[in-house]
Amino acid sequence: MIQTIYIERQVADHPRAREVLARFPAAQRIDCDRYTEIFNPKNQNFRLQKQQPALIIAHKFGKRVLSAPEGYGIGGQHNYYFSHMLNCIYDCRYCFLQGMYRSAHYVLFINYDDFFASMDRTLANHPSEDVWFFSGYDCDSLALDPVTGFATHLLTFLESRQRAFVELRTKSTQIRALLAAPAIPNAVVAFSLTPTETADRFEHKAPPIAKRLQAMRQLADKGWPLGLRFDPLIFDDAFEERYRRLFEEVFAALAPQSLHSVTLGAFRMPQRFFRNLIRLYPSEPLFASPLQNRSGLVSYSKTREEEMIRFCLKELTTYVPPERLFSCSADTRQHGNPPVQTLQAAGVPKR
């Protein structure tokens, strides 16, 4: 799997780094001073690196917990995000990471305790109030968990901090750490889903939808709060038929009571990232399909987006109570770095 591991010299003796290295005894190890020497230089090709990404083990300096954009959330008032990893083992053609980063290598920040200390400081800034922390924007929260072990550390942290709520967003079926732990109400495991044909076509290397649903059922049986993330919604002529079937498939497998939240968002991306994607995949019909630049964000036309969201909301309200449904739009998000979505309760129309 991983054939090359870059490791910052300062973390070379960190016990967690040694554990990770021990998992890949055949990998070549290359020492470096800072991960940015490998990750940030220009003239790298994300697509080519996806052929054989390396792992970079690093220490995260600076701000580890960042404010989510204004208006972002799934019901909470105080919303933040963090990334213990950069990049993802899957290769989803629509993913903004391809446009945002120059390198496809996986960066793992192993100073988990510093992330938790930052979360504690954030909690202290909001005494007596719930605070949401979103994971899974710059990486898949669980896909590399058998290697990183991050989930286990996070759950231990969350057990004693009931005001701290975390969303783990994933397409992965790597749920062993969750199944091994008692379910806690302040960790929502949110699965990204697209219709089966769409997943087959665009979500390279990700587990099939049926496997994700199977993982969700296992988690639901153990009492874990679940999230459904229909984001991005991808349009083509069979959009309604595909998504209707997907919702049928999902709710045949899952009881609505197990769901904490369901969110929707049409495909959208900062224009700079989108340009990079076209350079990487000039023949990709998804990027040639009718999209518009809406104030710096490339997305479907407002009319089309509204139609897509309206259709999905109508379908979903037959399964899920409206207070658990959230949608987002190109018009209601902040520009800049991800997280890219601004979510609003579907029960309160925003337009």
Partner 1 sequence: MRLVTALTPEALPLIEHYRLEQVDSDPLFPLYRNDTIYLVVSGIGKTLAAAATAYLHTKSGELPNQPFLNIGIAGHHRSIAGAARVANRITDQSTGQTWYPPQIIRDSMERSALITVETVERDYAEDAAYDMEAAGFYPIAWRASSAELVQSLKVISDHPGESVAHLDLQRIEGLIGNCFDEIDGLVKALQDLAGIVVSTTPEPYRLEPFVERWHFSVTQRHRLRRVLARWAVLAKGEDPLTSVPSGCPSARHTIEALENALLAKPLDLHAEVARPLPKLS
**Using the rule CB under 8 A, is 19 a contact of partner 1?**
no
**E strands within 147-242?**
164-170, 187-192, 203-204, 226-233
In angstroms, the Cα distances linking 89 to 104, 205, 290 are 9, 8, 29
* CA–CA dist 229, 191 (Å, integer): 6
Residue 54, phi-psi category: left (phi > 0), alpha (psi -120 to 50), beta (remainder): beta
**Using the rule CB under 8 A, is 52 a contact of partner 1?**
yes
**Using the rule CB under 8 A, is 54 a contact of partner 1?**
yes
- Contact region with partner 1 (CB under 8 A), list: 35-43, 70-78, 126-134, 213-221: 35-43
Among positions 1, 23, 28, 272, the unique one binding partner 1 when judged by CB under 8 A: 28
Among positions 121, 204, 289, 335, the unique one binding partner 1 when judged by CB under 8 A: 289
- DSSP three-state, residue 6: strand
* The token pair that represents 77 in the structure block: 């008032």
**Using the rule CB under 8 A, is 4 a contact of partner 1?**
yes
Among positions 86, 154, 219, 234, the unique one binding partner 1 when judged by CB under 8 A: 234
**Site mask for partner 1 (CB under 8 A), range 177-216, x = bound:** --------------------xx--x---------------
What residues are paired with 55 via a beta bridge? Answer: 5, 106
**Using the rule CB under 8 A, is 307 a contact of partner 1?**
no
- In whole angstroms, how close is the CB of 305 to partner 1 at the nearest point? 15
Nearer to partner 1, 24 or 317 (CB): 24
Q: What angle do CA 16, 21, 24 make, to 5 degrees?
A: 140
* The token pair that represents 76 in the structure block: 């909470």
**How many residues comprise the chain?**
351
- Contact region with partner 1 (CB under 8 A), list: 113-121, 145-153, 161-169, 278-286: 278-286
- In whole angstroms, how close is the CB of 289 to partner 1 at the nearest point? 6
**E strands within 153-245?**
164-170, 187-192, 203-204, 226-233
- In whole angstroms, how close is the CB of 206 to partner 1 at the nearest point? 16
Among positions 9, 18, 19, 37, the unique one binding partner 1 when judged by CB under 8 A: 37
Neighbours of 121 (CB within 10 A): 11
Q: Which residues bind partner 1 (CB under 8 A)?
A: 3-4, 6, 28, 30, 32, 37-38, 41, 43-45, 47-49, 51-52, 54, 103, 105, 197-198, 201, 234-238, 278, 281-290
